[in-house]
Amino acid sequence: MKLAEIRDILKCEVLTGATALSIEIETVVASDGMSEILAFARPGALMITGLTNVHSVRTADIANVRAIVYIRGKRPDKKAIKLARESEIPVLATRLGMFDACGILREKGLKGGM
């Protein structure tokens, strides 16, 4: 599924990476625990998290996560956005909670990346 489609389904605002919405996402990893992401995310996964600090982006970069969706209307701080831009990781934000965001994407055919 293209990232642009995920943006539409989850009614996301694109915070950075608007030109990279054509990338393909097949798996999703969802956690607020960064070590879980590091331990289990398959390279190329979409990361869904409520953790909005710079370490969430750093973790995504280290774990080869392809894009990030922040949930519950949370917005990352400036440092996080800056690092995401440098790391070329698109960042989206949705008002949905973790359960709904994951459930909707799973219904649409995306698989767990853990």
Partner 1 sequence: MAEELLRKTYQVRGRDFDKAGETATEIKQILKGLDIDAGLIHRAVVIAFEAEMNVVMYASEGTITFVLSDEEIRLEIADKGPGIEDIEMALTEGFSTATDEMREMGFGFGMGLPNIRKNSDEFDIASQVGVGTTVSAVIGLDSSG
Contact at 8 Å (CB) between 77 and 58? no
Rounded least distance, CB 87 to partner 1, Å: 8
**Residue 3 found at the interface with partner 1 (CB under 8 A):** no
Among 8, 11, 24, 43, binds partner 1 (CB under 8 A): 43
Across the beta sheet with 111-112, what order do the strands follow? 13-16, 91-93, 67-70, 46-49, 27-30, 111-112
Distance CA 46, CA 99 (A): 15
Candidates 11, 24, 64, 97; binder of partner 1 (CB under 8 A) is 64
Question: Of the two residues 53 and 108, which places its CB atom closer to partner 1 in the complex?
Answer: 53
Quickly tell me which residue has 């690092």 as its tokens.
83
Q: Which residues bind partner 1 (CB under 8 A)?
A: 32-36, 38-39, 43, 49, 51, 53-56, 58-59, 61-64, 79
